[in-house]
Chains A and B, each alone.
Chain A
Amino acid sequence: MSDQLVSEPLRSDAVPGLRRKGILAQLLARPLAVVGLAIIVLTVAGALLAPWLTPYDPNDQLFDGLTLEGAPMAPGGAFALGSDLLGRDLLTRILYGARTSLIIGIAANGVALLIGTLVGVTAGFFRGWTGTILMRFTDLMMAFPALLLAICLAAVLSPSLWIVALVIALVNWVQTARVVYTETSSLAQREFIEAERSIGAGTLRILFRHILPHLLPTIIVWGTLGISTTVLLEATLSYLGVGVQPPAPSWGNIIFENQTYFQAAPWLVFFPGAAILTLALAFNLVGDAMRDILDPTQRGRLS
């Protein structure tokens, strides 16, 4: 196997699963992945088309949005999912909240992935003092209770949408760094890298042409699974009141705002809760299918 790798320059299409057939085609052959993809597509569509899907504004406190006693309206009628304690349409807030979840899910996870890959590759490839320090720091981060760290960070930085994304990124890069580190350090010892060095290839060339393409499957899998973690962490921070701040809608802060009403108006917790669960589940389903497709070493063990 390594002979072949030495004689042939590695391109991304030499990595299993990344062949011409395409990940998408392989994903579509798996029912659970299709369900996950459908949920993601629907959520993205709902977030983008929100202004056309609903007649209301997410922050409008509607005149007929509360009962005569001042309680939220039950689902059905003019408000498909009911109204919240300020008389705003819940469906509208959930649709606009999807924007928050997706933006943070993608941005925060992207940054986390970037930090994690950078740390993991540097530590795995260069080793020595740099590697030791980076990995000890990663160990240190693993010992932090993630949620407490995120809450403290959010409190220090005073939350806005992008700050919340940054906080989540600063907490979530650790897992990626560890996985990437393990893979890089085993790759760096393989013969084909040694061979590249001996024919005079520079460090950057080895990194970009030979190490990174091999890491791509791992990065894609962790990237997809990571969005699910990110969505959950954003929801939790917003639920605790240290994430995205009202009146900007987020699925977590909808529950945070309406919690006092939840015994009388449980839909105010259940609909946004179901939205969080469904989106996190979707990314987990797709991520797991990706792992099966892209990572042949895991395949035998999980299925």
Chain B
Amino acid sequence: MIAYLARRFFQSVLILLGVSLITFALLYLLPADPVRQIAGRSATPQTVENIRRELGLDQPFLVQYGRYLLGLVQGDLGRSYLQRSEVTTLVMARLPATLLLMAGAIACELALGLTMGLIAAVKRGTATDQALMVGSFIGVSAPQFVVGLLLLYVFAVRLGWFPIGGYGTFSHLVLPSVTLGILGAGWYSRMMRSSMIDVLRQDYIRTARAKGLARSTVLFRHALPNAILPVIAMIGIDIGLFMSGIVVVEGVFGWPGIGQLAWQAIQRVDIPIIMGVTLVSACAIVLGNLLADIVTPFIDPRIKLR
């Protein structure tokens, strides 16, 4: 286990190094010149050159990248070009809001997805099953910005049940969480359904029924715990979906998380912030995958870590 973890950790570091190199190279190739953005339109060529030198942007690519890595090792993501503050500080200030949103989304997708999958498995082959599975397809086919705008219109503008946007109370959290969670709910309902069907086929379920246990006892005490675990283990992999989703969802709802930070930075060519958010997201994704892999053998001892 220790050897496995050490190797996976080493691999993860390599992957993150690769992510940083590719992102850095992409942003280096960016046609929009960040220095012009900072200097403003009326700046003299001399000012522009001074700023470029001050930021070290006149150096060759490898020197710039090397400097960035050196900072990274010390937990320093550099300074924002336009906001005049540390990227680490900016990201850390925004991270709690994003984590809260993700927690809300996980709650939504599990509540919705597991319930749908459970009902579909129990009612397998009926019209209910069909309808639920069509529903799950709609969930994975719905663009998040449309879902967000739709929920916003119906529940905030028309019905006035929730605030139109912003951050702070529980009611602010509901609509963004549902929007972010619907995609996952679609996947989870399908996984839950097939996992539950697999479990319901097992001999011990037949035995439990045969010895006269109530249907609901068999379902909730014997089948559900076994069916639910492999599905829950997938949460780690969701992080990747979330990291794409937050850019859109935070934008629609004005949620002050790292998704919005990244989006604003992209529009202003604030390269250190774009780098920072991409790296933090990649870290989260790698960590999520690692977590999913570590949890799996505990849930199913037949699977061995290699």
Listed in ascending order, the chain A residues whose CB lies under 8 Å from chain B are 32, 136-137, 139-140, 142-149, 151-153, 155-156, 158, 228, 232, 235-236, 239-240, 242, 252, 255, 259, 262-263, 266, 269-270, 273, 276-277, 280-281, 284-285, 288, 301-302
Contact = CB atoms under 8 A, between A and B. Distances in A.
B240 A146 contact: yes
A151 B149 contact: no
Contacts of A232: 141, 143
A236 B143 contact: yes
Interface in B6-24: 11, 14-16, 18-19, 22-23
B27 A280 contact: no
Interface string B206-247: 000000000000000000000000000000000010011101
5 smallest beta-carbon distances between A and B, as pairs? A273-B146, A147-B244, A280-B141, A145-B243, A281-B141
B27 A236 contact: no
Contacts of A142: 240, 285, 289
B31 interface: yes
Given A146-B240, A276-B143, A255 B138 contact: no
Nearest to B274: A152
Contacts of B281: 145, 148
19 contacts: A136-B14, A143-B15, A145-B240, A145-B244, A146-B240, A148-B277, A152-B26, A152-B30, A156-B29, A228-B141, A239-B145, A240-B247, A242-B266, A269-B149, A277-B142, A280-B143, A301-B197, A302-B190, A302-B194
B282 to A, nearest CB: 5
Contacts of B192: none
Contact of B263 (A149, A235, A240): A240
B237 to A, nearest CB: 10
B140 interface: yes
B189 interface: no
Contacts of B15: 136, 139-140, 143
Given A145-B243, A145-B278, A140 B19 contact: yes
A232 B23 CA distance: 23
B145 A301 contact: no
Contacts of B162: none
Contacts of A137: 18
Contact of B146 (A139, A143, A228, A269): A269
Contacts of B278: 144-145, 148-149, 152
B180 interface: no
For the residues of B in contact with A, the DSSP-based class is helix
Interface string B112-145: 0000000000000000001000100110111111
Contact of A143 (B245, B251, B285): B285
Nearest to A259: B149
A236 B144 contact: yes
B286 interface: yes
B274 A276 contact: no
Contact of B247 (A151, A277, A301): A151
A226 B198 CA distance: 27
A285 B149 contact: no
B100 interface: no
B36 to A, nearest CB: 15
B5 interface: no
Interface in B181-204: 190, 194, 197-198
A235 B143 contact: yes
Contact of B286 (A143, A155, A242, A285): A143
Given A152-B23, A263-B153, A285 B137 contact: yes
B143 A144 contact: no
A277 B146 contact: yes
Given A152-B23, A269-B149, A145 B144 contact: no
Contact of A155 (B22, B32, B140, B149): B32
Contacts of A277: 138, 141-143, 146
B247 A239 contact: no
